[in-house]
Amino acid sequence: MDANVVTAVNSLTSRWARTLAPGNTVISGLGLWPLLALLATAADEPGRAELSEAAGVDASTAASQAVDLIRTVDSATDLHAALGVWVHQQLKLSETFDSVIPTELTGTLTGDLTGDKATLDAWAAEHTDHLIREMPLQVTPDLAVVLASALSLRTTWARPFREQIKRIPTGPWSGSWHWLDRTDRDLDAVRVYDDPAAGPLTVITVQGDADVDVLLAIASPEAAQPDVLAGLLAAAARPAAGRPGSMLVQQGQPGQQLAPALTITQTTSPTPEVNLSLPSFAVQAEHDLLAQRELFGLTAVTSDPGAQGHFSAISPDPLVVGQANQTVLARFYATGFEAAAVTAMGMMRTSVSVTQSRRLDVALTQPFAFTALHRETRLPVVAGWIASPTEPE
């Protein structure tokens, strides 16, 4: 996979993560990036330059890089990815259409709103293993083109967790929750980073049994959610950085807290080990991407297209991006992790009004960040924040 594309996806995810409101949430920059790249190649100026900057790639090659990215992700053991483009049967296409949108990705919108919705929903369900059953898009009479990506991830932990009901007596997470706990000997699954914005950051890698890992990060209670999420994504891109657990376990005494949520205790095990405990969680989010159109390079292509339109490479008819949404979910449980995202953009024929012997104990008993990572490329599939447990007793 092109390292520049990985960097571009990481950058988009990090910029987006910094804008998220407090609370449980999850996003997929990987789901959004291919659509921005396709639009960049298809768009006329000034939208072409704006989209190219947001995607972080050259507009002339962006569409082909988007297709290559999805094919590479889809070849992974634990990941599935797909791109789809649907064009209204009455829309006149430009001669350059096939050079921007590969023929094998293209389907047809018939104008039958019920039938078209059923087609789009079925595609979303098929390509997310039915984790997401609807395309996050309204099918309207003026819908001319739909671009969509779908991602799904299912991995089993290399070492499963024990599950129990745990009661937290005080604090913001007081109550009884489904709690996960496990112990293993891979001390370097824990690393501590000194992030310039979040401060000390404890990052724990939970290894899947194939090619996806999930990284968890926690900072001091005073650290801002956007800084912790961005710090986690930065740490994910440099796995050898930070101070490893094998070094940390030698640096303190039992009872000493070395970093956020990281304490040295004692164990009867003959060798040092790591104990990780956290709540199981399930989080789902819906994102209106046009509410942050400047962030995603969508300002120009959502404005009145005038007589020329924004996408002459797709159609001589004036087209405007009128909808852009993402549905994404993530679940962390005793035996594994699953996530899915469907991102969709709708183009309309005319302009529309768009609204906006020692052991390291890691106990995640306060808000924390997470990301699921393709191990070989360090590509973040989803990233999110857990403000409070989601699975009550």
The secondary structure of 289-354 as a DSSP string is: GGGGTTTTT-TGGGS--TTT-S-TTT-SS--EEEEEEEEEEEEE-SSEEEEEEEEEEEEESS----
Q: What is the mean pLDDT of the chain?
A: 92
81 vs 308, residue with greater confidence:
81
User: pLDDT band for position 353 (50/70/90)?
Assistant: very low
Per-domain residue ranges for the chain? Answer: 3-155+282-348, 157-280+358-386
Q: What architecture is domain 157-280+358-386? A: Roll (2.30)
Range 261-281 average pLDDT = 92
Task: Evaluate the omega torsion of the peptide bond into residue 305 and state whether it is cis, within 30 degrees of 0.
Answer: no
Topology of domain 3-155+282-348, CATH = Antithrombin; Chain I, domain 2 (3.30.497)
Distance, CA of 282 to CA of 285 (rounded, Å): 10
Q: How confident is the model at residue 361 (pLDDT cuts 50, 70, 90)?
A: confident
- Read off the pLDDT of each residue in 312-340 and give the average, rounded to a whole number: 96
- Of 7-11, 189-193, 249-253, the poorest mean pLDDT is in 249-253
Please tell me the pTM assigned to this model. 0.89
C-alpha–C-alpha distance, residues 87 and 296, integer Å: 23
With cut-offs at 50, 70 and 90, classify the pLDDT of residue 251.
Answer: confident
Pairing of strands 79-88, 106-109: parallel
3 state SS of 124 = helix
pLDDT in tens, 149-167: 999 999 999 999 999 999 9
Number of residues in the chain? 393
Determine the pLDDT at residue 355: 44
